[in-house]
Each structure stands twice: as structure tokens, then as C-alpha cells.
Amino acid sequence: NNYSTHIPFSKAKEGNFIQDAPHLENSFEGDTLLQRNLQRILPAEAYSNVKDELSMFGARVATDIYKLGRECELIPPYLKLQDAWANPQNKVVTCESWKELKKISAREGLISLAYERDPKHQGFSRLIQMSKNYLFAPSSGLYSCPLAMTDGAAKTLEVSGLKDHGESFKNLTSRDPEKFWTSGQWMTEKRGGSDVAGGTETLAIQDPNKENMYKLYGYKFFSSATDADIALTLARVVDPATGKITSGTKGLSLFLIYVDQPSNLHLMRLKQKLGTKQLPTGELLLDGMTAELISPPGRGVASISQMLNITRLHNASASVSAMRRIISLARDYSNRRVAFGKLIRNHPLHVRTLADMELECRAGFSLFMEAGRLLSLEENGTPTIEQQQLLRLLLPLLKLYTGKQCMKVVSEGLESFGGQGYMEDTGIPVILRDAQVTPIWEGTTNILSLDVLRALAKSEGQVLVAFHQRIQGVLDSTTNPSLAECCTQLEKYRSQLISFAQKNPDQLEYVARDFAFGLARTLAGALLLEHASWGRAVDSDRAAAERWLGQRDLLAQSLVSGQTVSHSSLSVQQLDEALV
């Protein structure tokens, strides 16, 4: 350093050091865990039939699709109520990239893959479709959201026997970009989104001349797909004879709406949101919209739960893939950033921080893969009753657990870039903003914890039997002696959970969150162990199972002590109230 001949920063506006930015890798080729899981779960021929498609798509996700998604964040949608001459417009304007992503979604079969049931997938079309959506989500500029609802609507129409009824199902599942439709899901009203039955004020007035046709009047407070072609929504049918409605869940029915009804649908405003800014989420006034009743009267909530179960799976896809994306970027950056004289990848504490993130991601990912596997079996018509019960339990667990996990992991991931993680033009902060919605929409953490109890009650405990048996299957097939300690731990957690539920049924609601987290973590432990026992597992697979089961407390103290203990004369609930 001879400062007499060269003065750094002199006539060099940027200084003389430029930090290498993190690089996005091919999302499929870089995700060896996804590859190994698909290899383990799919028949060999099915895997070899899809791996090139996934690899090509993984390359696009890191290049052109990423650019389109980024543009959706930078050019957010807006509401155009009038033109310059005050002619009413009443439309949402989205950017060209958003429209292009719709076309790509159709061509890539992001919805249709699950419904075509191509024999070359050998019964695993759903798992393959969800894997592709998982690759897509973190680059999709939140186009993953309308896709989730489109998938949920297609599923609802399919299970309701309405595949051949009108154009909807055909278009929702089309690969032709000119025909492809998306769907909205209009459930939430001003009075409430969790308590849908308590919150829904929308009225449905029957058209006396047309069977099953109604006019809807109401105010939908959140609609994330204001640009959709159709929507599924709930309303209360007004009895034509008495003019009365039925309150509560039993009064709600499910309707299909064609969105393009400008005289009867008023876009009141777009929401000003913390994140998901790419999405045109709006408030809608339904002023006599024509709608078709598609559920038996009074079965609206039960019918739309078919949709919820699919959108919740997509929610988990978004949560897990956000974790995967930030870990992938952080890993790459650790090979480019130097601190204290060496690459940060050579600081063991930094690598340990990344390893902890990876462990969380793997646990969530294992639950996601299991849901895709079980749903494939169900849609293939070959599930056992036990597998159906497990899927019913797993879907809320998966959504609630991964939604919370991704907040923690993505926040940690941001920190791994130091101050740059906080800078908008790196494209990193948007990952955190968008992650924050995954625990909220599609049912909050508490509501889904209560859904787990609903599944338990409705099945008279059979969902827990299925949970027990799935774990037993893993224990029985784990013969590797080096994993024996994992088996012991797994058995311990399973028995603590089940005995808590049996001994304390009256406390389950109060500890529903702890209970659901415990179930999710324990099942994830079993799935990590199953993967670690696979003949082609690698060191990291075994390390994940050993650390998850051996070095973490998977259950909250409230479950382990067998009761919610209070050492004062007040009950724990009274103490909570005092604290709050």
C-alpha cells in the first residue's frame, strides 16, 4: 500500500471495493433435499419422468421468472376508478409481468398437473404439482396466491361433482394461457375472518325463474384476487316465503360467481399492506351479483373447507420455500463475504447459525412432502382410512407450523446478510414482509390449532391413532443402530403427547397451540428419521434427524408436566388475564 502513488477513494465515487452479490441457483438443482425426497417417495420411473421438467423449471425460476416476480413488487397494482374524463372504470390495473406470470402458470401446468393425473406420474401427480409450485413460489411475485385459490376452487368443483358443469373447471385446469382462469376465495367480511359464521352478512336472494341462481348483496372485506375470473364465496340464503335467514354455520351456503359483472361489483379500495404488495387485495361491494349455488343449502362452510385444505397446502409451500430461498442465498453469500480476514463460511458460529435455519427448514419441508404424498394417495383413490385421518390432521398442523417457522427463519436469514439484508434493492426484505402473512391468512395459528382439536373430536380420536401408527411404521422400519437413540426419543415424545390428550381433554383448548406444535414437531421428527434411514441418505440427512430428535425439546412444558400448573390461588387463566 503505497499511499504516495495511489490514494484510495480519490476520483473513485464508489471506492475500490465492490461486494459480490448473492447468486440465485437453479432452484431444483440446488435443492438436493427435494431431489432426494422425490427419489425416495416416487417410483423410480416416475422420478426419471419428471426430473428434467423440474430442472428446466428450476432454471427459469432463477432467471426470467425471478425477474417477472421482482417487477410485480416494484410495479404494484392500483385501482382505476375513472378515466381522465370521469368515465367510470372500476378496474384493477396490474403490471405486464403479473399477466405474463399467469400465462407461464398455465403453460407450465402449475394447476393442471394435479388434475390431468398423467399415468407417467404413477399416482403422484399431486406431489409433483406441489413440488413445482414450491419451486415457483419464492420467485413468483406472489402469483402463487391466485394459483393457490385456483387450485382450491378446482378441487372443490371436482369433489362436488361439478367438473363437467359449465366452463369453470375446464378453464381453471387449462394449460392454454388464453383459456386459463383463476379463482378468488371471498370469505372474510368486516365482522370476522376466523369466525366466518359469525361474520358473514352477505345475503343471497333467489332468482325465481332460474334454479340455483341468486343475487348476492354484501361486503367482502379481503379479496386477494380482485382480478380473478371466478370466485367461490359464502352467503346466507333469504327464505323467499318468510324473508328470514338462518344464523350461524347452518345458514351459510357456497356460491360460484363470475367476477366480470361491472355494474354489480364495486371495487371499493385496494388494501394498504405491510407486504404482499404485488397482490391486488381489495374490498368488494357485491350489489346484486349473479351467483350460482354450488353446495347443498347450509353446507357452505363444510364445502369451502375443501378449498381451504388446498390453499393451506399452498400456504405451507410458500412458507417452506421462503425458508429454502433465504437459506440458499445466505449459503451463497457466505462464500462471497469476508469478515475478520476470512470468508464468513469459515466462521463456525456463522455456519452453525445457517445449520439451525436448515434444520428448521428440513422439518417443515418433511411435513410438506408428507402432505403431498398423502394427498396423492387420496386423489389416486388408494388411501387407507388411516392415511385419510392422518391427512386431515396434517393439513392444519402443516400450515400453522410452517407459517410460524418461516417468520423465524427468514428473519434470521436476513441478519445473515448483515445490513445488506435490510436494503430494499437487494430484493431480500420482501421475503420477510411476505412471510409475515403466512401465519395470518388461510386461518391464524390459533384457529388452526383449534381445527386440530375439531379433527380430533370429529374422528373420535382416530386422527391420533393414525398419528401413532404412522410413527410406529417409522420406528419399525428404522434398523440402523446409529439411529436407535432417535427412536427412543421419538417414542417418548409420541407417548407424552398421546397421554396428555387422553388425561387432560378439558385442558386441550387452552394449550391447543402447544399441543399442535408438539404434534407437528414430533411428526416432523418421524419423517426426518424415515428419510435418514433410507439407503441413499447422506450425512446431512442423518444429522438432521439426530439433532431434531436428540438435541431439541420438541414439547412445551405445559404438555410435559401433564397439567397447566399454577402455584398461586389463581388459575392459570386468571394469571394470564392479570399479565395481559
User: Which residues in this chain contact ligand FAD in the complex, by CB under 6 A?
Assistant: 185-188, 192-195, 222-225, 273, 276, 281, 437, 440-441, 443-444, 446-447, 450
Q: Which of 110, 114, 135, 318 binds ligand UCC (CB under 6 A)?
A: 318
If binding is defined by CB under 6 A, does position 441 make contact with ligand UCC?
Answer: yes
Site string for ligand UCC, 382-421 (x = CB under 6 A): ----------------------------------------
Nearer Cβ to ligand FAD (192/461): 192
- Among residues 367, 369, 362, which one has the least CA distance to residue 41? 369
Q: Which of 19, 247, 263, 305 binds ligand UCC (CB under 6 A)?
A: 305
* Residue carrying C-alpha cell 411475485: 141
Q: Which of 46, 187, 357, 486 binds ligand UCC (CB under 6 A)?
A: 187
If binding is defined by CB under 6 A, does position 80 make contact with ligand UCC?
Answer: no
Type and span of the H or E element at 284:
strand 282-293
Give the nearest distance from C-beta 415 to ligand FAD in angstroms: 25
254 strand-pairing partners: 234
Cα 461 off chain centre by: 26
If binding is defined by CB under 6 A, does position 134 make contact with ligand UCC?
Answer: no
Residue with the CB atom nearest ligand FAD in the bound state: 193
Is residue 80 classed as helix, strand or coil in its secondary structure?
A: strand
Within 8 A by CB and 6+ apart from 475, the residues are 487, 490, 491
Question: How many Å apart are CA 513 and CA 530, to the nearest integer?
Answer: 26
Give the nearest distance from C-beta 435 to ligand UCC in angstroms: 10
Within 8 A by CB and 6+ apart from 262, the residues are 90, 91
Question: How many Å apart are CA 101 and CA 107, to the nearest integer?
Answer: 10
Question: For helices 484-503 and 462-477, what crossing angle results, to 10°?
Answer: 170
The cell numbers describing 151, all together, are 387450485
Q: How many CB atoms lie within 10 A of CB 322?
A: 25
Q: Which of 26, 160, 224, 328 binds ligand UCC (CB under 6 A)?
A: 224
Nearer Cβ to ligand UCC (155/314): 314
The 3 state secondary structure assigned to 312-351 is: HHHHHHHHHHHHHHHHHHHHHHHCCCEECCEEHHHCHHHH
- Among residues 262, 266, 264, which one has the least CA distance to residue 223? 266
In this chain, which stretch among 171-179, 194-202, 329-337, 421-429 interacts with ligand UCC, using CB under 6 A? 194-202
If binding is defined by CB under 6 A, does position 503 make contact with ligand UCC?
Answer: no
Name which of ligand UCC, ligand FAD, none residue 281 binds, using a CB cut-off of 5 to 8 Å depending on partner kind.
ligand FAD
Radius of gyration of the chain (CA): 25
The cell numbers describing 206, all together, are 333467489
Is residue 11 classed as helix, strand or coil in its secondary structure?
A: coil
Nearer Cβ to ligand FAD (60/236): 236
Nearer Cβ to ligand UCC (359/452): 452
Q: How many CB atoms lie within 10 A of CB 443?
A: 23
DSSP 257: E
Nearer Cβ to ligand FAD (58/251): 251
End-to-end CA distance of the chain: 61
Name which of ligand FAD, ligand UCC, none residue 273 binds, using a CB cut-off of 5 to 8 Å depending on partner kind.
ligand FAD
If binding is defined by CB under 6 A, does position 249 make contact with ligand UCC?
Answer: yes
Question: How many Å apart are CA 280 and CA 95, to the nearest integer?
Answer: 11
Question: For helices 32-41 and 125-136, what crossing angle results, to 10°?
Answer: 170
Nearer Cβ to ligand UCC (188/489): 188
Nearer Cβ to ligand FAD (275/298): 275
Name which of ligand UCC, ligand FAD, none residue 308 binds, using a CB cut-off of 5 to 8 Å depending on partner kind.
ligand UCC
Give the nearest distance from C-beta 282 to ligand FAD in angstroms: 9
DSSP 188: -
Site string for ligand UCC, 252-291 (x = CB under 6 A): ----------------------------------------
In this chain, which stretch among 144-152, 286-294, 338-346, 419-427 interacts with ligand UCC, using CB under 6 A? 144-152
Nearer Cβ to ligand FAD (69/443): 443
Name which of ligand FAD, ligand UCC, none residue 305 binds, using a CB cut-off of 5 to 8 Å depending on partner kind.
ligand UCC
The cell numbers describing 280, all together, are 391486488
Residues within the interface to ligand UCC (CB under 6 A)? 144-145, 148-149, 185, 187-188, 193-194, 196-197, 224, 249, 301-302, 305, 308-309, 311, 314-315, 318, 441-443, 447, 451, 454, 458
